[in-house]
Amino acid sequence: MFRRLDNSAPGLIEISLDGEAMQVPAGISLAAALLYLDAIPVRRTKIGAAPRAPFCMMGICFECMVEIDGQGSQRACQREVFPGMQVSRRLDDGKPESGR
Amino acid sequence: MKDAYQLVVIGAGPAGMAAAQAAASRGIEVAVVDEQSQPGGQIYRNVDSSPLASIDWLGEDYRFGKTQVQAFRHAPIDYFPETSVWYLDSSRELGLLHQGEHRRLSADAIVIAGGAQERPVPIPGWQLPGVMTAGGGQILLKSAALVPRQPPVLAGSGPLLLLLASQYLRAGIEIRAIVDTTPRQNRWRALRHLPRALGAADYLFKGLKMILAIRRARVPWYSGAVGLQARGDERLASLRFDSGGRSHEIDTELLLLHQGVMPALQMADAAGCESDWHEQQQCWQPRLDDWGASSQAGIYIVGDGAGIGGARAAGLGGRITGLQVAFEAGRIDQATRDRLARPLINARQRHLAIRPFLDTYYRVDTSVLASEPAALVCRCEEISVAQIEAAADLGASGPNQVKAFTRCGMGPCQGRFCGASVEQILARRRAVGVGEIGRFSARPPLKPITLGQLATSEEQQV
Amino acid sequence: MSLNTINQYDTIVVGGGLVGAAIALGIARRGQRVAVLDGGDRDYRASRGNFGLVWVQGKGADYAPYARWSGIAARHWEAFALELLDASGIDVGLEQTGGYDFCLDQDEWDARAREMAQVAQHTGGEFEYQMLDNAELKQRIPQVSDEVLGASFSTRDGHVNPLFLLHALHRRLRGIGAGLFAAQPVTSITPGSGRFALRTDSCVYQCERVVLCAGLGNQRLGEMLNMHVPLHPLRGQLLITERVPRFLPCATLQVRQTVEGTLQIGDSHEDVGYDESVTLDVIARLAARAVRIFPHLRGVHLQRAWGALRVMTADGLPVYQRADDHPGAYLVSCHSGVTLAALHAGPVADWICGDDPHPLINDFSAARFDVSTPRQ
């Protein structure tokens, strides 16, 4: 959904998304990284299993919640990516989604 | 971090930074807590740590923030980034989450500088992946140098929408369309405020420049748009709307919505500060005196969280309040306070001169807010306009009874994106003003915290 | 100032919380014309703070009639829930598979065991319970920590969603043709020759019978009808978490898992006057107790905390009182609006409609507050 502007700061780092290694720009929020990867949806709602993705990017909509390093319900827009970050999207009844 | 400070400022945006520095430079012991990792708030986000090759094309208003942030970094202030305030009460006790650890803090005075949030725009399908706020688009641009892969549609009304459009165009991004919901009659009503707005002619000029740039780029511009519907299955595929007497459907994978901003009031509510409904701005604002003092002793509110006025007015208001805090603490006398404040007050008035014009020109037509029965009011709990209307018709006494009956507002966002809609629906149903309807009561936690984090502080005390 | 006069209702119930709504339903079921006058959106509403327990264990250890009354209430719940579902379409989420009350130290355990034995005695063995040690407890709830000494367990306990219950009662009231007026707090009641005039800011309601179910407001309103019922607020703070995978097989006094999957953690008992606010100390304490009992909850996020004021009499027992000086005026007060709901819609409403009272109703009269009368 989003791409990096051509002359912006260089440098990609590797994170793990649902068990797969992914390259994302360093220094950005995880929510931005997920949009960069088009890893959409980032979660499904508990009631209707509806697909959701980052909405406000400023930490108040709670749509971008994913599991980070084993901790659930983390707002992806409030966390900066780092090498080796383990991210899990809860897309299927609480079980991590395998593959994109 | 100490256990107590003379002044705790919540928020490191333009207002918070200014208030902190004004107080600290007069000897007040100040702590600033902010959720983000860099100062600047939303408007000056990443201004001195930008991933962009150059920030020049983002505009001089943004660049102005750089000096503010750099001055802040050098001020004699205890600055705590990555720190969220989850608890705040009228006795000025704070519960913080500081780098994952629960900390308690008490303050002689608190300045709440938590800023604004976007007005929710509950059109059908607004919950689909691919629909975001215009503010979200701006944050991606400023903090991550990310731009839409495909030409986006920008829909709604307000200066921020135009600013984002002009910034995208300067970055070489094609915009698929601007779907402008600004009611046509606003233009005539706003003319009345034009003379006063000329006192802030630079704002008008900047606005005209943005509009001209968008026109020159031949971005399709649909005016007087109504009946917006975001359509798609697993993600956004198109936007449908009516304009110029016809129906339109535009294919797009990204829709950036915006209907203005309003003060974010959770912290003010939690501290028990009174607020009032402002008809011209169509939002709630905290009740403040000329120095920014709220109805609760020792608690001040500054910046866009006090009332939408923009970054320059926010910085000036922050300084005025910082002086007041210094005065209340006996650091400066009244004559000094008044002498120093006078030019700030005048400058602030000048920057605010544009507001009546903007507020009227971009005034949202509330009859179209939360009016489609199938549209979601509460994104968190997946509750529709129809369900809220049913609760209202059952005789729910107000927003809190609606919440009790439907669960609307009980999800993680705690009413931030549904409260305004519930108020509108109740006001419409009862044919009264929103001011008579009331609001959700605010409860902690204001930001997420786990049971384990809460328990640790308790366990440490034993 | 001209007020609207409304006189098409024979009975007015003051207060539309769990108590008032249930009683009004019982009266409406009898075919009588009844209306509920409910307070404002921000009024003290004990119903909003209710934990949702249908709870028998521990009730009435010091007063046999209360033990028996609670037991009867619990037995009527299943049928009541079905009736509400049928009539209002709302499932109140009744789960009545028993309830646990955890003991974290030996003193707690000993006191609990005594209490349970008392209640069993008062009910002639009707009340059934078990005292479980840690090992037995872990067999039923594996997530219980080693720090928990044990728990008392009673088979008749359970829980519902108290807000769904209130919603269901309100919807049923509308469906059955009862009046339900929101934002109509009663400011005065004037009795006179078999009739009552109730004033709100905009209306005067004329009726033959008035039932006070206004929670803490009952004390003031009761005085207007020469009923003396001292009431005081007792704050309870509650925590609600995000949804978690289901692990609790039934209700417990410290933690319950709702139908939606969220956890309700509570609650406190604070004598702080008319202050509904939540406090950092209590929130932290409740969270600490919850993770002490269930360590696997450490990573669970708190979603909301709130406080509400319980409506308490000095002895903690309900009040069912008919005004001595004004036949037709009644006062009902309790802090267990959920547990007793079926009885309020049943025998209590019947008594108000003029039937001979259920024998236990007389055991809760306000005469016990009259200092000139020796206590039973």
Q: Which of B147, B254, B416 sits opposite A60 (nearest CB)?
A: B416
Residue B223 forms part of a structural domain = yes
Residue B337 forms part of a structural domain = no
Residue A55 forms part of a structural domain = yes
Q: Which of C41, C241, C284 sits opposite B458 (nearest CB)?
A: C284
Residue C66 forms part of a structural domain = no
User: What's the total number of domains in chain B?
Assistant: 3
Question: Which chain A residue is nearest to residue C302, measuring alpha carbons?
Answer: A73
User: What's the total number of domains in chain C?
Assistant: 2
Same domain, C265 and C286: yes
Give the domain CATH number at C268: 3.30.9.10
From the CA of C18, how many Å to the nearest CA of chain B? 13
Give strand pairing partners of B167: none
Buried b (16+ CB within 10 A) or exposed e, C328-363: bbbbbbbbbbbbbbbbbbbbbbbbbbeeeebebbeb
pLDDT digits (tens, 9 = 90+) for B43-71: 999 999 999 988 888 888 888 999 999 99
pLDDT digits (tens, 9 = 90+) for C14-26: 999 999 999 999 9
Same domain, C177 and C308: no
pLDDT digits (tens, 9 = 90+) for C65-116: 999 999 999 999 999 999 999 999 999 999 999 999 999 999 999 999 999 9
Give the domain CATH number at C319: 3.50.50.60
Domain containing B384 equals: 370-431
Same domain, B188 and B167: yes
3-state secondary structure chain B: CCCEEEEEEECCCHHHHHHHHHHHCCCCCEEEECCCCCCCCCCCCCCCCCCCCCCHHHCHHHHHHHHHHHHHHCCCCEEECCEEEEEECCCCEEEEEECCEEEEEEEEEEEECCCEEECCCCCCCCCCCCEEEHHHHHHHHHHHCEEECCCCEEEECCHHHHHHHHHHHHCCCCCCEEEECCCCHHHHHHHCCHHHHHHHHHHHHHHHHHHHHHHHCCCCEECCCEEEEEEECCCEEEEEEEECCEEEEEECCCEEEECCEEECCHHHHHCCCCEEEECCCCEEEECCCCCCECCCCCEEECHHHCCCCCHHHHHHHHHHHHHHHHHHCCCCCHHHHHHHHHHHHHHHHHHHCCHHHHHHHCCCCHHHCCCCCCCEEECCCCEEHHHHHHHHHCCCCCHHHHHHHHCCCCCCCCCCCCHHHHHHHHHHHHCCCHHHHCCCCCCCCCCCEEHHHHHHHHHHHC
Question: Which chain C residue is nearest to residue B392, measuring alpha carbons?
Answer: C182
- CA distance linking residue A66 with residue A91, whole number of Å: 10
Same domain, B250 and B288: no
CB < 8 Å to A78, chain B: 35
Residue B446 forms part of a structural domain = no
Position B461 scores a pLDDT of 57
Mean pLDDT of B339-357: 96
Token representation of residue B175: 């915009």
Position A97 scores a pLDDT of 38
pLDDT averaged over 10-residue windows placed end to end, chain A, 100 residues: 89 96 96 98 93 97 97 96 95 47
Whether ipTM exceeds 0.90: yes
The total of other beta-carbon atoms located within 10 Å of residue A60's CB is: 21
Mean pLDDT of B162-180: 96
Global pTM value: 0.92
Same domain, C173 and C223: yes
Q: For B8, phi and psi rounded to 5 degrees? A: -115, 125
CB < 8 Å to A47, chain B: 381-382
SS3 content of chain A, % helix, strand, coil (to 5): 10, 40, 50
Give the domain CATH number at A23: 3.10.20.740
Question: Which chain A residue is nearest to residue C246, measuring alpha carbons?
Answer: A94
Question: Which chain C residue is nearest to residue A93, measuring alpha carbons?
Answer: C245
The pLDDT confidence band at residue B396, using thresholds 50, 70 and 90, is: confident
Position B404 scores a pLDDT of 87
- The H-assigned helical ranges of chain C are 18-29, 64-88, 106-122, 134-140, 162-175, 218-223, 280-293, 341-343, 349-352
Mean pLDDT of B162-188: 95
- CA distance linking residue B69 with residue B75, whole number of Å: 10
CB < 8 Å to A94, chain C: 245
Question: CB under 8 Å to A96, separation ≥6 — which residues?
Answer: A18, A19, A67, A88, A89, A90
Same domain, B197 and B274: no
How many pairs of residues across A and B have Cβ atoms under 8 Å apart? 125
Q: Which of C260, C261, C299 sits opposite A72 (nearest CB)?
A: C299
Window 203-262 of C: residues touching A by CB (8 A cutoff) are 242-243, 245, 260-261
Give the domain CATH number at B377: 1.10.10
Domain containing C245 equals: 98-157+232-312
Report the number of secondary-structure helices (H) and strands (E) in chain A. 1, 10
Same domain, C225 and C236: no
Domain containing A17 equals: 12-93
CB < 8 Å to A63, chain B: 379
Give the domain CATH number at B30: 3.50.50.60
Window 30-49 of A: residues touching C by CB (8 A cutoff) are 46
User: What's the total number of domains in chain A?
Assistant: 1
Residue B454 forms part of a structural domain = no
Intervals of chain C under pLDDT 50: 373, 375-376
Same domain, C304 and C239: yes
From the CA of A85, how many Å to the nearest CA of chain C? 18
Position C371 scores a pLDDT of 67
Residue C171 forms part of a structural domain = yes
Residue type, C32: Q
CB < 8 Å to C301, chain A: 73
CB < 8 Å to C306, chain B: 443
Residue C82 forms part of a structural domain = no
Q: Which of B44-58, B233-247, B309-323 has the lowest mean pLDDT?
A: B44-58
Same domain, C147 and C236: yes
The pLDDT confidence band at residue B395, using thresholds 50, 70 and 90, is: confident
Position C259 scores a pLDDT of 87
Residue A6 forms part of a structural domain = no
CB < 8 Å to C261, chain A: 46
Q: What are the residues of chain A with a beta carbon less than 8 Å away from any beta carbon of chain B?
A: 1-5, 7-9, 25, 27-29, 32, 35-36, 38, 40-42, 45, 47-48, 50-63, 65, 73, 75, 78, 80
* Final residue in a domain of this structure, among B227, B259, B291: B259
From the CA of C42, how many Å to the nearest CA of chain A? 25
